[in-house]
Chain A
Amino acid sequence: MIDLNKRWWLRAIACAAVASVALVAGCGKEEPKPAAKAAEAAPAPKPDPLKIGFMYVGPVGDAGWTFAHDNARKALEAEFGDKVKTTIVESVPEGPDAERVIRDLADQGHKLIFATSFGYMEQMLKVAETKKEIRFEHATGYKSSENMRTYDSRTYEGAYMAGVIAGAMTKTNTLGVVASIPIPEVIRNINSFTLGAQSVNPKVKTKVVWVNKWFDPPKESEGAQSLLNQGADVLFQNTDSSAVLQTAEKAGKFAFGWDSDMSKFGPTAHLASAVINWAPYYKKATKDMLDNTWQTGGVWWGHKEGVIDLVAVSDKIPEATRKRIDEIKAGLKEGTFTVWKGPIKGQDGKKRLAKDQVADDKFMHDIKWYVQGVEGKVPAGG
């Protein structure tokens, strides 16, 4: 033991010495590299692959939001093969750090850069102003410029379809939503879920608890338990993990999957999963770049474009309800069905949409109130 210790120290010191020398030598040797790199890039036999950068807000392994984006990135690579080369930087804090990462991706020769969270908006806008030759894509924001555009998904369509099922399945007429952060999208989803449920069961009430985090499995599960304790028998969540579904499974109640197909996490509790598939958009954006047809703007894609879907619909759901879901899907595809169509009343009973009035995107972006049937107060204080 003593000898071993002694040897360990000697070895450590020897290694340290060798490595220090190696480090110094390495640094010295590598200095002229930028020039060498430029030279080796120039005489490429075939056109260089399009370099695409992705900046994620969470870890790739979050099983939720970032996971969905990364799956779409993989689909993109599979589709375009060696015509593209993708790079990811995960768990980038929203705020000043984002600007450094975006700028670095730009400096590294990425011609198309995706930033996948709202909190990157101002930083991306700043970089876009100074890097006119590069195209920027920002998810879920509202600001764009000549070389920066926005993309988003109509997650509320999935929430509405889940609501239709929840309305049919509830026995207590009480639904529960475990909500994350009170941004407009989440409030819209709670409302759409409730509207869906009311479309088949007008007596339904929705209780909401806010975790105030995107991701905190123990807390999500505590929130879910609290809703079950208060009589909710179908749960829905706008948080990232499968904790809510698993809590429902343990309690013998129902719940949904969100972001990705979560059916295996609660075989008996799972009713359906509302999923986001970003691949169609990422493929389109890449194609725009390869064809030189990229133009600024903003898109908000839903079931019609294949971005939003309700999958793994359970056999426990009555035939009529499943048919209704199919009708909604068909209606969304053909554009004959809209989720937000009057009459819709606010929580306070005030009329928000008149009969047959269809909400436009501006209206949809400005929902900071609950519809009738949702209990509690919107945390945004709206």
Chain B
Amino acid sequence: MRLEARPQPSVAMSIASPVIAVAITVVLGTLLFALLGKDPVRGLMVFFYEPIRSGYALSELAVKATPLILCALGLAVCYRSNIWNIGAEGQLLLGAIAGGGVALLATTATGGWIVVAILAAGAVGGMAWAGITALLRDRFNANEILVSLMLVYVAEMFLSYLVYGPWKDPKGFNFPQTQMFPASTQVPLLVTGTRLHLGFLIALAAVAAVWIFMFRTMAGFQLLVGGLAPLAARYAGFSSRKALWTTLLLSGGVAGIAGALEAAGPLGQLTPHVSPGYGFTAIIVAFVGRLHPCGIVLAALLLSMFIIGGEFAQSRLGLPRSLTGVFQGLLLFSLLACDTLIHFRIIWARRLAWNR
């Protein structure tokens, strides 16, 4: 067996590959559950059915997917233009800090416009943090992978400093938290009785906007060319500096909005635990979504399903959480491996396979 590059990516396979991948995961999962002496059907239901079984469950799925979609969108734009920003987590935290800072200024009497200000501040915070990476890359040629990653740790400590120090709730018995934001800052809910908030629509709007930007504007085209063929881009006179700044500021901005949405949405205050690693999970989401805005929505929903399913596996079946990590890893491996079939076809040949 060997692989042969297809002349062009297969459309049929790009649809079939995730299905095959899920099927492989189902098979592996069945084996895994059977080995552990659990009913495989129950086990699979917990991951694939229970997270989408009702309107409420779906709303929770959307809440969980919102920050993932936003962060992954920005990352996809970066990666497509060969900018390896892996610090979306830090940019999200700075967005939460900036948005939270504005929310703390509000009072109960403040109008609903404050939410707009919070989100704008979040975007600016995220952009500023990503801007450091861009600046160091631009001026000092410092590698963006390293700078953006290190800035995640710095952002965590900065948030921690604020909520333990200057921004601590004076009535909070010294616990690391700001006071609860006034109700006026709450991101509007879409459906009462759920936690589904406006952020999900913002995320979907961002998906559309990024799609238009990438595939329908000249600036987006320049970025894509710059990523695919840097030399050609240079001959065409496309500025790689402009690409660097555009992509990093864009991805910092959306990650910042995601952070502000978390802070002013389901959290309602700042604590050291604004994000359970959304910025890192988003990297996986971006790739599983094949760096395409629509793919990212599906990938974010899939990963959220697995995260929530992991909780259900504990509460329904008594499986340890670590098993969820194993299962998630397997799903990702098979998703990535199956994507090979889009660009390659399998050739069944004897002996030939030994050639390199």
Q: A: which residues have CB within 8 A of B? A: 1-2, 5-6, 9, 12-13, 15-20, 22-23, 26-27, 30, 53, 59-60, 87-97, 99-101, 104-105, 108, 118-119, 122, 142, 181-184, 187, 212, 365-368, 379-382
How far does the alpha carbon of A89 sit from the alpha carbon of B318 in the complex, in Å? 8
Q: With a CB–CB cut-off of 8 A, which chain A residues contact B60?
A: 100
Number of interface residues, chain B, beta carbon within 8 A: 56
How far does the alpha carbon of A95 sit from the alpha carbon of B262 in the complex, in Å? 9
Question: B269-311: contact bitstring with A at CB < 8 Å (1 yes, 0 no)?
Answer: 1011111100000000000000000000000000000001001
**B79 beta carbon closer than 8 Å to chain A:** no
17 A-B residue contacts at CB 8 Å?
A: A5-B1, A12-B24, A17-B23, A19-B23, A23-B26, A26-B44, A53-B315, A90-B314, A93-B276, A95-B271, A95-B275, A119-B271, A142-B173, A365-B174, A379-B164, A380-B165, A380-B174
**Contact status A380-B268, CB under 8 Å:** no
How far does the alpha carbon of A27 sit from the alpha carbon of B53 in the complex, in Å? 10
Q: Which partner residue on chain B sits nearest A117 by CB separation?
A: B273
Least CB distance from B59 to A in Å reads 10
**B105 beta carbon closer than 8 Å to chain A:** no
Q: Which of B166-218 contact A (CB under 8 A)?
A: 166, 168, 173-176, 180, 195
Most buried by A among B30, B262, B273, B346: B273
Q: Which partner residue on chain A sits nearest B42 by CB separation?
A: A30
Which of A20, A92, A97, A212 is B26 in contact with, Cβ under 8 Å?
A20
**Contact status A15-B49, CB under 8 Å:** no
**B351 beta carbon closer than 8 Å to chain A:** yes
**B320 beta carbon closer than 8 Å to chain A:** yes
Given contacts A90-B320, A142-B175, A183-B175, 11 further A-B contacts (CB under 8 A): A23-B26, A27-B45, A59-B321, A87-B314, A87-B318, A88-B315, A96-B262, A108-B316, A365-B173, A379-B164, A380-B176
How far does the alpha carbon of A105 sit from the alpha carbon of B318 in the complex, in Å? 13
Most buried by B among A53, A92, A96, A105: A96
Q: Which partner residue on chain B sits nearest A1 by CB separation?
A: B353
Least CB distance from A3 to B in Å reads 9
Q: With a CB–CB cut-off of 8 A, which chain A residues contact B49?
A: 27, 30
**B228 beta carbon closer than 8 Å to chain A:** no
Which of B195, B273, B350 is A2 in contact with, Cβ under 8 Å?
B350
**B82 beta carbon closer than 8 Å to chain A:** no
10 closest Cβ contacts across the A-B interface? A16-B23, A93-B276, A96-B266, A381-B165, A94-B273, A184-B174, A19-B26, A5-B1, A15-B27, A95-B273
**Contact status B164-A182, CB under 8 Å:** yes
How far does the alpha carbon of A18 sit from the alpha carbon of B20 in the complex, in Å? 11
**Contact status A122-B320, CB under 8 Å:** no
**B84 beta carbon closer than 8 Å to chain A:** no
Least CB distance from A4 to B in Å reads 9
Q: With a CB–CB cut-off of 8 A, which chain A residues contact B320?
A: 60, 90
Assuming the A-B contacts A6-B348, A90-B321, A95-B267, are A380 and B164 also in contact, with contact meaning beta carbons closer than 8 angstroms in the complex?
A: yes
Q: Is the interface of B mostly helix, strand, loop or mixed?
A: helix
**B245 beta carbon closer than 8 Å to chain A:** no
Least CB distance from A211 to B in Å reads 12
Q: With a CB–CB cut-off of 8 A, which chain B residues contact A122?
A: 180, 268-269
Q: With a CB–CB cut-off of 8 A, which chain B residues contact A26?
A: 41, 44-45
Q: With a CB–CB cut-off of 8 A, which chain B residues contact A184?
A: 173-175
Least CB distance from A131 to B in Å reads 13
How far does the alpha carbon of A9 sit from the alpha carbon of B1 in the complex, in Å? 9
**B142 beta carbon closer than 8 Å to chain A:** no
Assuming the A-B contacts A22-B26, A59-B322, A183-B174, are A104 and B315 also in contact, with contact meaning beta carbons closer than 8 angstroms in the complex?
A: yes
**B160 beta carbon closer than 8 Å to chain A:** yes
Q: Which partner residue on chain B sits nearest A381 by CB separation?
A: B165
Least CB distance from B273 to A in Å reads 4
Least CB distance from B23 to A in Å reads 3
Q: With a CB–CB cut-off of 8 A, which chain A residues contact B157?
A: 212
How far does the alpha carbon of A95 sit from the alpha carbon of B67 in the complex, in Å? 14
**Contact status A104-B312, CB under 8 Å:** yes
Least CB distance from B312 to A in Å reads 7
Q: With a CB–CB cut-off of 8 A, which chain B residues contact A366?
A: 173-174
Which of B64, B308, B346 is A9 in contact with, Cβ under 8 Å?
B346
**B63 beta carbon closer than 8 Å to chain A:** yes
Assuming the A-B contacts A20-B26, A119-B271, are A183 and B312 also in contact, with contact meaning beta carbons closer than 8 angstroms in the complex?
A: no
Least CB distance from B344 to A in Å reads 13
How far does the alpha carbon of A96 sit from the alpha carbon of B26 in the complex, in Å? 29
Q: With a CB–CB cut-off of 8 A, which chain A residues contact B24?
A: 12, 15-16, 19
Q: With a CB–CB cut-off of 8 A, which chain A residues contact B174?
A: 183-184, 187, 365-368, 380, 382
Q: With a CB–CB cut-off of 8 A, which chain A residues contact B321?
A: 59, 89-91
Q: With a CB–CB cut-off of 8 A, which chain A residues contact B350?
A: 2
**Contact status A105-B27, CB under 8 Å:** no
Assuming the A-B contacts A90-B314, A368-B174, A380-B164, are A27 and B48 also in contact, with contact meaning beta carbons closer than 8 angstroms in the complex?
A: yes
Q: With a CB–CB cut-off of 8 A, which chain A residues contact B63?
A: 96, 100
Question: B97-120: contact bitstring with A at CB < 8 Å (1 yes, 0 no)?
Answer: 000000000000000000000000
**Contact status B267-A89, CB under 8 Å:** no
**B34 beta carbon closer than 8 Å to chain A:** no
Q: With a CB–CB cut-off of 8 A, which chain B residues contact A19?
A: 23-24, 26-27, 30
How far does the alpha carbon of A197 sit from the alpha carbon of B23 in the complex, in Å? 63
How far does the alpha carbon of A89 sit from the alpha carbon of B46 in the complex, in Å? 14
**B19 beta carbon closer than 8 Å to chain A:** yes
How far does the alpha carbon of A47 sit from the alpha carbon of B267 in the complex, in Å? 38
Q: With a CB–CB cut-off of 8 A, which chain A residues contact B348?
A: 6
